[in-house]
Structure 1
Amino acid sequence: MSEDRIFRTAPEEKYYDNKSRASIFFRVLIQKFWKLIEFNLIYLVISIPAIIVSCFIGIYITNSLLPAVEADFFAFLFVYGFPPMVLLMAIPVIAFGPAQAGMAYILRCFSYERPTFYWSDFKDKMKENFKQSLVVSLINLAAFIFLLFDFYLYGQISQNTDNLLFYVANIFLFMILILFIMMAMYIYPMMVSYELKTKYLYKNAFLFSIGRFLPNLVVLFICFLLILAPVLIVVYVGNAMVLAIIYLYYMVLGFSLPGLVSSFFINPVIDKYLKPAPAQANSE
C-alpha cells in the first residue's frame, strides 16, 4: 500500500483507494481461503449445541414447507434438515453466541484487510462478549421459535376458514420474519465493534433492516444460493457422491463463506452510521 502511495500520488495529493469492494472480496477469499476453512471447522466444533437445536428446527421448517416428501429419518435429516440448519446459523439467526462473536470479529478484520492474531483475537472476542452474546443468542432463539409457532397457529386456523384477515396476518408475520433475519446479520458485527447495550443492538439492527431493506435482501439471496443451491443439485442428481461433496463443502466453508459475504456488505454500513466507541477509536 505504501508503494502505491509513493509512485501514484504526488506529496501534496490525497490518496484514494479505488479498489472496489468486489475486487477486495475475491482477493481476501483467495488470500484467506485456508483461514476461512480453519475457522469454519473451529466454529463447527464450538457450536455443537446450537447445531443440534438448529438442525431440529431446520427439519421442522422443511417438513412444514415440503410435507409431501417421503424419506426415512436419516435421509430427511441429511438432505432436507442439515442445509436449513447451516443457513440459520450462517446468517446467523441461531448461534452459540460467543463463537459467533469471535467469528464476526475475524470476518470483520478480513473484510477490511486488517491484520489480526487469528486464534488469540477469536478467543478474546469470545471472552469480551461472552455474556452479551449468550443473551443475544437466547433472545434470537426464543423470538424465532415464537415466530414459527405463530406461523403454525395461523396456518392451522387459516385452513379452517376463508377469512381474509388470517391471510393478511400470515403475510405480516412473514415480513416480520424477514426483518428479524435481516436484524440478525447486524447484531454480532455491532457487538464486537461497538460498546452498545443489548437493547441498542436490537434497535440499531431494526433500523438497518428497514433502512437497507433491498440491499439486505440481496445479501440474504446470496447466502441462500451459497447454502441451499447445492442441495437442489443433490435433489436433481440423486447421487450419494455429490451429497458427500456438498457436505464436505458445508464442513469447510458452510459458515465462514456466507459470513464473509455478509461481513463485506454489513460492516461498511454499520461503520458509516455508528460512531466508534472511545476505546476502539484510541486503539485504532
Structure 2
Amino acid sequence: MFGRMMNNYYYGKSGKGDFRKEDLPQNRRQLFRDTLKTRLSALCRINLLYMLIFLPAMLVIMFSFTNILSTTSNLMMVEQNDYAGFVEQVTQNEQEVTITEEQFNELKNADVNLGDMLDSTVFRMLLLLIPCIAITGPFTAGLSYITRNWARDEHAFIWTDFKDAVKANWKQSLVLSLITSVLPIAAYVGWRFYGQLAQNNMIMIVPQVLVVLVGMIWSISITYMHPLVVTYELKTKDVIRNGLLLGVARLPMSVAIRLLHCVPALIGGLLIWFWNPMIGMLILFAYYALIGFSISRFITASYTNAVFDKYINPRIEGAKVNQGIYKPEDDDDEEDEAVEGDTDN
C-alpha cells in the first residue's frame, strides 16, 4: 500500500524521452538548460525525499552554528568589558543569568581563549556529523542514478528507480559516505595538532598542509565517485581510484564545481553573520529542503556525464556517447535503414 502511494505521487512521465530526435539539443549547455527546465518540478519532489536522510546533519549544523555565534558574541562582550551587553545577550539566548558584575570582571581578567572554545564547538559538531553523513551514502546513490538519467534525457521513475538504485549500490556508497564522514574531523584534528607543533618547529607546517590537502582532494574527487558507482560495474577500490584520477586530472573544473555547490551555503552564511541569524538559517534551510540537494546533484550529473563521455565511454565497446545530444550520424543511420527497407520491399 505504501509503495503504491509513493508511486502515485512520485511517478513522472511515460518512459519516452522529452525531445523528438529533430528537437534534440545541439550541445551540452543546451541539454542542461532544456532538461533542467523539463525536470525542475521533479527535482523538487525528489529533493523532499532525499532531504529526510540529511535532516539530522542539517540540524546538527544549525545548532552548532547557533552555538558558535552565541559563544563568539558573549566572549566579545567580555573582551570589551560590556557587562550590560553580556547579560542582555545571554538573556536573549534564554540562558539563566547567575553571573554578577564582580564575577564578570574575574571572567574578563581570566585567560579566556576564544580559539579554544570555538575549537571545542567545531570538534563536537564534526564528531556528531560522522553518523549523520555516514548513513547518506546509499541514498546519494539513488539520487545520483535519477539525476544521471535526467541529465542525459533518459526517463527515471522517482520512487521505484530511486529505491532500486539504493538497493543495488548501497554497499559501495556506504563505504564512500563513511570515508567522507570521517575525513573532515581527521583533517581538522590534524590541522590543529600539527599547527601547535609548528609553533616550535616550522617543518611541521608540511604535514599540516598535507593533511588539509588530502581532505581537499577527497572533497573534489567524491564528485565523480557516486556517478561512477551507479554508471559502471566497478569494485570499490576502482571507484575510488578512478574518482581520484579524474579529480586531479580535471582539477580546475573539479574545484569550480565544488565551489559552485558552496555558493548557496556561503550566501546563507553571509545573511546569518551580517543580517539576521534566525532568518538567514531559515532561508538556507528552506533552500535545501525545497531543491538544494537535488539541483546540486543534477549539476554534478550533467558535468560527470560529459567527463565520462570524454574519458571513459569511448574506451568501452558498445557504450553510448553524448546521449541526449543531436548527432548527424543518427540521421545517416536512419536513412540507411530506410533504404534497406525499400530494397527489401
Report TM bin, short chain: 0.7 to 0.9
Secondary structure (helix, strand or coil) at the match of 2:72 reads coil
Q: How far did 1:44 drift?
A: 1.3
Flag the 1:243–1:24 CA change in 2: closer, same or farther, 3 A: same
Inter-CA distance 58–125: structure 2 relative to 1 (3 Å threshold): farther
SS of equivalent residue, structure 2 residue 234: coil
Could you tell me which residue of structure 1 aligns to residue 26 of structure 2? 18
- Secondary structure, in 3 states, of the residue corresponding to 1:254? helix
Q: Distance in 1 between matches of 2:230 and 2:33?
A: 24
How far off is 1:223 after superposition? 0.8
Q: 2:45 aligns with which of 16, 38, 46?
A: 38
Decide whether the 8 Å contact of 2:32 with 2:302 is kept in 1: yes
Indicate the residue corresponding to 1:154 in structure 2.
Answer: 194
Task: Report the equivalent of 1:9.
Answer: none
Q: CA deviation at 1:152?
A: 2.4
What CA distance in whole angstroms lies between the structure 1 residues aligned with 2:246 and 2:278?
41
Q: 2 CA distance for matches of 1:67 and 1:279?
A: 59
Letter of the 2:60 counterpart: C
Provide the rounded CA distance (Å) in 2 between the counterparts of 1:204 and 1:166: 31
Distance 2:30 2:141 in 1: 26
Matched residue, 2:35: 28
How far is the alpha carbon of 1:101 from its aligned partner? 0.4
CA root-mean-square deviation:
3.7
Matched, 1:145 2:185: yes
Per the TM alignment, residue 201 of structure 1 is displaced from its structure 2 partner at its CA by: 0.6
Percentage of matched positions with identical amino acids: 26
Measure how far apart 1:224 and its partner are.
1.2
Q: Check conservation: 2:225, 2:243, Cα contact below 8 A.
A: yes
2 CA distance for matches of 1:117 and 1:147?
A: 39
What amino acid sits opposite 2:245 in the alignment? L
Deviations, residues 190-236 of structure 1 (Å, cap 9, x unaligned): 00000000000110011011100011111111111133223212322
The residue that corresponds to 1:110 in the other structure is 150
- Alignment match, 1:69: 72
Distance in 1, matches of 2:64 and 2:182, equals 17
TM-score, length of structure 2 as denominator length: 0.62
Q: CA 1:195–1:42 in structure 2 vs 1: closer, same or farther (change >3 Å)? A: same
Structure 2 vs 1, CA of residues 146 and 48 (structure 1 numbering), >3 Å: closer, same or farther? same
Q: CA deviation at 1:48?
A: 4.4
State the distance in 2 between where 1:116 and 1:222 align: 26
Separation in 2, partners of 1:67, 1:170: 29
Change (3 A) 1:58 1:113: farther
What letter corresponds to residue 272 of structure 2 in structure 1? V
For 2:318 and 2:63, the matched residues in 1 are separated by 39
Could you say which residue in structure 2 is the equivalent of 1:12?
A: none
Query: SS at the partner of 1:129?
Result: helix
Structure-2 change in CA distance of 1:125 and 1:30 (3 Å): same
In structure 2, distance between residues paired with 1:25 and 1:58: 36
Choose the corresponding residue for 1:235, options 246, 264, 273.
273
Unaligned runs of 5+ in 2: 1-18, 75-89, 95-120, 324-345
1:203 aligns with 2:241: yes
- Show the counterpart of 1:212: 250
1:179 lines up with 2:184 in the alignment? no
CA contact (8 A) 2:269 2:280 kept: no
Unaligned runs of 5+ in 1: 6-15, 75-79
Q: 1:55 is matched with which residue?
A: 60
Q: Which has the larger radius of gyration?
A: 2
Q: Give the Cα–Cα distance (whole angstroms) in 2 for the partners of residues 124 and 248 of structure 1.
A: 28
Checking the alignment, whether the CA contact within 8 Å between 1:194 and 1:280 is kept in structure 2 is no
CA distance in 2, matches of 1:132, 1:238: 41
Number of positions where the alignment pairs a residue of Structure 1 with one of Structure 2? 252
From 297, 300, 306, give the equivalent of 1:262. Answer: 300
